Structure 1
Amino acid sequence: MSLENCIVGIVEDDPIMGESLVQRLTLEGMTVKWWQSGAEAVRDIQGTRFGAIVCDIRLPDVSGEAVFREAVKGPDAPPFLFVTAFGDIDQAVSLMRAGAGDYVTKPFEMDDFLMRLSDLVRHRRDEATGVLGISPAIKEVERMLRRVARLPSSLLITGETGSGKEVAARFVHAASAATGSPFMAVNCAAIPADLLESELFGHEKGAFTGAAMRHLGYAERTGDGTLFLDEIGEMRPELQTKLLRLIEERAFHRVGGEKPIPFRGRLLTATNGDLETLVASGRFRQDLLYRINVVSVRMPALRERSEDIPWLMERFFEEFSDHGEGSLKGIGALAEEAALAHSWPGNVRELRNRMERGIGLALGEWLMPGDLFPEMFRAATDIGERLGSLEDARLDAERRHILRALSATGGEIAAAAKLLNVGRTTLWEKMRRLRVRFDG
C-alpha cells in the first residue's frame, strides 16, 4: 500500500526518534506534522484530516492516552499507532480496546512499523470511500468489523437473507491476520443434514457405505484461516454438540476417526433467524449460542440504507457490463429512481441479480426501469388490458352513481334527478343510454 500523498502526525518528544521518523516517512512520500508535546498535538489534530497519528505513550506534559481521548472527541478522528516501551504494553492493549488502531514496541523494525502504519492508512481510506457501502448504517458496520477483525473472538453475523452476511465475513477475514489463509464458507441450510457432518469434519475411509477414501472436511481445510458457517440455526442438535466441542477443545474427529484433529482457524457464523427463539423451542443449544455470540454484528437490510443503492448499482454495472456484448453506456436516471422506490425484499442479492439480468438483456444504450423490473411492466400491461379505456371507466362510474341515487329514493326518478342535480328528462336519457334498470 503506497503511503504517498498522506498526512501523518507524529507525537514524539525524543528529538532523535522524531527526526528519524520524519525523514523516513517523508522519503515514503508522506506529508509529516511533528509535535514534541501532547498539548500541541491536541490543539492541531482537529484542524487537519490525518491519515494516521503516530504517538508515544509517554510524553513530557500529558500522556499519549490523553492525546488519543481528546482527539477522538472530535469528528472524523484519525487512527492512532502507539509507540510504547515493553512495560506499557498493557496500557497499549487497553487503548486498542478503546478504539486505537495499533501499537509497536520499542525498539521496532522500520519495515514492520511502515507495514502497520500502511494498514491504518489503508483502513482510513477504505472508511472514507466505503468498501461495503457509503450509508451511515453500513459504515458503522464496517468500523465494527474492522475492530472485530483484530480479535480472535467468535463472531455472529445476523441479518435478513441476501443482506450480505457472507460478504461481511469475507471482509473480516481480509482485514485480519489470516487474510493469506483459506476462507471456507459452509451454508448449513444448503447441505443435506445427513451429509453435513462429513462435509464439515471429514470422514475416514470405510466410515460408512460409499466412503471409499478419506475425506478432509471444511474444518480441517481451513488451516489457519477462517471457517464461516452460514445459516447456523439449521444445524441439527447432535451436530451442534460436536461444533461446541470444536470450539471448547479446539479439536474435532473425522467421522469414523479416533484421533482428534486440531482446529487452528477462526470460527465465524451467521443466521437470518432468531436463535434465542430456537433456544426457547429446544432446537438450538444455549451453550453453543453463548460460544458463537461473543461478538454480534447485524447487517442492515437494503431498505434501511437506501444511500447504498446507487452506489451498489454502479459497482454491479462495472462488474457485469464488462462481460456483455451490448452497447450500454450506463444506468438511466429512471432506473435509479425505480430502484430507490423498490422495497428490495431480497436485499443486496436481489439487486445484484436484477442488475446482472438487466445488463445482459438490455437493448438500449441506458439501463432502464423495464430492464430491472420487467415483471412490473408485464403486470401493468395485463392490468391495462383488463381495465379498458378511461371512457369505459367514466361511464361505469356514472352508472353506479345513478343506481345509488335511485336506491336512496326508492326508484323515484324525480327525487333521484334532484339528488343528482340534473333534470328529470336528462336522467331518463342517461338511464336509457347507460342501460340502467332499477328493480328496487
Structure 2
Amino acid sequence: MSAEAAILVIEDDPILGPALVQRLRLEGFAPRLAADGATALKVLAQHPPSAIVSDIRLPDISGEAVFTHTLDMIGLVPTFFITAFGDISQAIRLVKAGAKDYLVKPVDVDALVAQLRESCADAGAVEGNSLGQAPAMRAAEDVLRRVAPLDLPVLLLGETGSGKEVAARFLHRASARPDSAFVAVNCAAIPHELVESTLFGHERGAFTGAVARRDGLLEQAGDGILFLDEIGELPLELQPKLLRVIQEGRYLPVGATTEKRFTGRLVCATHSDLKAAIREGGFREDLYYRINVVEVTMPPLRARAEDIAPLAEMFLRQAVARFRTPPRLLSAAALAALRSYDWPGNVRELRNRIERAAALCDGEAIGVADIFPEDGLSPERPSPERASPGRQAPPAAEAGLDESVDLAVRARIEAALREAGGNKSEAARILKVSRTTLWKKIRQLDIDTGPAR
C-alpha cells in the first residue's frame, strides 16, 4: 500500500463516521469524512481517493447514486458499502457494477482495514504509485518525484491525450501536501470574457451578470495545486496578471479593491509550441520562463508499448463497472492490435476505443473489430485516421481515388472531433484549418457531429 493512501468515508452516523476515520488514521491511511452525498461528490472532484467506504442510506442521495457519479467523474474506485439494512438483490447489483464488497453493520473493522490495504496496493500498481512501466514514462515519473516536495512551477508538455493531467495529479499525490486541493481547468474551454473572473474571482456587481461574489480558481486551490491545461490559450491581456501571481503571490479579483494571496502551486500544461507563440507575439516570454522552471515532457502512447495492455485492461474494468455490462476480456488478437496501432489520440483515444468496445461488444471476448471498426483497418497497417503526412494509408481495394480521399478526410475529422470532445473550434485547431473550412467539410461529407458546440 502507498503511504497514507487516501480513503473517503461517506457516513452520516455521528458516532460511526468519526470512529472509522480515527481507526483508519491510526492504521496509516489518510481518511476524509463526508456526512452526505453532496459533500462526498465535492471531495471526489478535488481529492480523488484510493478507496471509498460508503453508507448506503445518506441524508440526501443514496450511496449507490454516489457510486454511479464516481464512475462518471473519475472512473472505478474500490468501494466498500456498509448498511444496517441487508438487501441481497442490492448487494448483488452493486458488486456486479464494480463495488468491492457489501458489509452489514456492525462492521468487522479489522477485516475492512485488511481489504482496504489490499485494494490500495492493487490500485497503486497502475494508477497510484506509478505512471507506467515504459522507460520514457519512468524517466518522466522520476523527475516528477524529485520536484514533488518543492514548490516550483512545473510545465508539462506532450501531445493531446498523453496524460498531462494524470501527471499533474501524480505530482500532487507525491507532494508534501497531498491532502490539499487539486483544481484543474482547461484554459481553451473557458469563454474569453469569463477567463479573468474564473481564475481570479469577482465581487458582486463587478460586471453585468455578477449577481453574487465568486471565488476564483486561485482561491479554491488554497495551498494545493492549480493545474492550468492548455496554458497557451490564456488571453494575452491576462498573462501579466498571472505572471504577478507567480512572482509576488498576489492577485486582485475583478471589481475588488483588496488584493488576495495565492499560497498554492502552479502547474501548467500545453501541447502547443510556446516558443513559436512567443515569436508570433501570442505568449509572453517572461511568463514562459516563470512557468517553465521545471519542464517535463509526457511521452506519446506509441512510445510506451509496455503500458498499452495494462492501461487497456484497466479501462476495460472501469467501463464494465460503469456501463454495468457482463464481464469482458480482451482477446489475444485485440491485444496484439492495440500494441501495433500508433495511437494518434494517445491515452484518451485508447480509453474511448475500449469504452466503445465494452459497450457494444456482443460476446464476452473483445476482438479487433470491436476496437477498430473502421473500414479497411487491419492490425498490420495504419487506418486512414492514423495516417501521418508522407505515410498515406492504402485505400480499400473497392474504393476509387476520390472516395478514398473522402474516407481519409472523414476519418481524420471524426478522430479530431473525438479528441476535442465534440468541440468544433478545438477540432479545427487540431486539424490546422479554420472553423469555416471544418464546417464545410462536415456538411460536404455529412458527418454526424452530435449536439452543436
User: For the superposition of Structure 1 and Structure 2, which TM-score range results when normalised by the shorter chain?
Assistant: 0.5 to 0.7
| Secondary structure in structure 1 of the residue aligned to 2:255 | coil
Other-structure match for 1:93: none
Give me the whole-angstrom Cα distance separating, in 2, the residues matched to 1:127 and 1:336. Answer: 18
Q: Give the TM-score of the pair, scaled to structure 1.
A: 0.57
8 A Cα contact 1:358 1:371, kept in partner? yes
Output the CA distance in 2 between the equivalents of 1:331 and 1:183. 34
| SS class of match (1:296) | strand
Determine helix, strand or coil for the equivalent of 1:157: strand
Is the counterpart of residue 226 in structure 1 residue 225 in structure 2?
A: yes
Deviations 1:25-79 (A, max 9, x none): xxx9xxxxxxxxxxxxxxxxxxxxxxxxxxxxxxxxxxxxxxxxxxxxxxxxxxx
- Cα distance, 1:2–1:276 mapped onto 2, change above 3 Å: closer
Residues 200-246 of structure 1: CA distance to partner in whole angstroms, max 9, x if unpaired? Answer: 00011111111101010100111111000000011111110100011
1:106 aligns to what?
none
Assess, with a 3 A threshold, how the Cα gap between structure 1 residues 242 and 332 changes in structure 2: closer, same or farther. same
Q: Distance in 2 between matches of 1:370 and 1:277?
A: 40
Specify whether residues 343 and 320 from structure 1 end up closer, same or farther in structure 2 by C-alpha distance, changes over 3 A only: same
For residues 242-290 of structure 1, what are the alpha-carbon distances to aligned partners after superposition, in whole Å with 9 as ceiling and x for unaligned? 0001111101110011100110110000010111111111111111111
Change in Cα spacing, 1:324 to 1:253, as seen in structure 2 (3 Å) is: same
Alignment of 1:267-346 (within 5 A): 267-346=266-345
Matched residue SS, 1:376: coil
Q: Runs of 5+ in structure 1 lacking a partner?
A: 4-27, 29-121, 388-440
Q: Deviations over 1:280-301 (max 9, x none)?
A: 1111111111110000000001
Partner of 1:103: none
Please say if residues 328 and 358 of structure 2, whose CA atoms lie closer than 8 Å, have aligned partners that are also in contact.
no
Q: Unaligned regions of 5+ residues in structure 2, if any?
A: 4-26, 28-120, 378-382, 385-394, 401-453
Structure 1 residues 282, 329: CA separation in 2 closer, same or farther (over 3 Å shift)? closer
CA distance in structure 2 between the partners assigned to 1:157 and 1:288 by the alignment? 15
Contact 2:202 2:214 in 1 (8 A): yes
How far apart are residue 320 of structure 1 and its match? 1.3
Deviation, 1:184, is 0.5
Alignment of 1:359 with 2:364, yes or no, is: no
Does the 8 A contact of 1:141 with 1:299 survive in 2?
A: yes
Deviation readout 1:392-414 (Å, 9 max, x if unpaired): xxxxxxxxxxxxxxxxxxxxxxx
Aligned residue for 1:184, secondary structure, equals strand
Instruction: Output one character per residue of 1:316-344: Cα deviation in whole Å (capped at 9) or x when no partner.
Output: 11211223444344111111111112111
Q: Please name the residue that 1:181 is paired with.
A: 180
Distance in 2 separating the partners of 1:273 and 1:184:
22
> Whole-Å Cα distance in 2 between the matches of residues 128 and 232 of structure 1?
25
The answer to whether the 8 A contact 2:320-2:326 is kept is no
Label 1:186 to 1:326 Cα distance change in 2 as closer, same or farther (>3 A).
closer
Structure 2 counterpart of 1:149: 148
For 2:2 and 2:221, locate their aligned partners in 1 and report how far apart those are by CA, in whole Å: 31
Compute the displacement of 1:349 (Å): 0.4
| CA gap 1:130/1:340 in 2 versus in 1, 3 angstroms | farther
Structure having greater relative contact order (Cα 8 Å, sep ≥ 6): 2
Aligned to 1:166: 165
SS at match of 1:255: coil
* Residues 126/331 of structure 1: CA separation in 2 closer, same or farther (3 Å cut): closer
Amino acid at match of 2:333: L
Maintained 8 Å contact 1:237/1:284: yes
Question: What residue number does 1:193 align with?
Answer: 192
Q: Give the Cα separation in 2 of the matches to 1:231 and 1:2.
A: 31
- Encode CA deviations 1:322-380: one digit per residue, 9 max, x unaligned: 23444344111111111112111100000011111111111111111111111235899
Give 1:146's aligned amino acid.
R
Look up the SS of the partner of 1:156 in the other structure: strand
Q: Is the 8 A contact 1:203 1:255 kept in 2?
A: yes
Maintained 8 Å contact 2:162/2:346: yes
> Any conservation in 2 of the 1:326–1:363 contact (CA below 8 Å)?
no
- Cα distance change of structure 1 residues 132 and 2 upon mapping to structure 2, 3 Å threshold: closer
Q: Name the SS of the counterpart of 1:270 in structure 2.
A: strand
Cα distance in 2 for residues equivalent to 1:171 and 1:147: 12
| Cα pair 1:183 1:222 within 8 Å, conserved | yes
CA distance in 1, matches of 2:133, 2:269: 23
Work out whether residues 126 and 310 of structure 2, in 8 Å CA contact, stay in contact via their aligned partners in 1: no
CA contact (8 A) 2:2 2:129 kept: no
Rg larger in structure: 1
Alpha-carbon distance in structure 1 between the residues aligned to 2:126 and 2:170: 13
The TM-score with structure 2 as length reference comes to 0.56
Q: What displacement does 1:2 show? A: 8.0
CA contact (8 A) 2:162 2:300 kept: yes
Residue 355 of structure 1 aligns with an amino acid whose one-letter code is: I
Q: Is the 8 A contact 2:316 2:328 kept in 1?
A: no
Say yes or no: does 1:256 pair with 2:255: yes
Separation in 2, partners of 1:337, 1:272: 28
The answer as to whether partners of 2:137 and 2:299 remain within 8 angstroms in 1 is yes
Output the CA distance in 2 between the equivalents of 1:295 and 1:186: 20
Identity %: 51
Deviation at 1:148, TM superposition (A): 1.2
SS at match of 1:307: helix
Separation in 1 of the partners of 2:225 and 2:165? Answer: 12
Q: Which residue of structure 1 lines up, in the alignment, with residue 201 of structure 2?
A: 202
Rounded to whole Å, the distance in 1 between the matches of 2:293 and 2:247 is 13
Q: Distance in 2 between matches of 1:335 and 1:238?
A: 49
- Look up the SS of the partner of 1:374 in the other structure: coil
What is the aligned partner in structure 2 of residue 84 from structure 1?
Answer: none
CA distance, structure 2, for counterparts of residue 150 and residue 249 of structure 1: 20
CA distance in 1, matches of 2:185, 2:246: 16
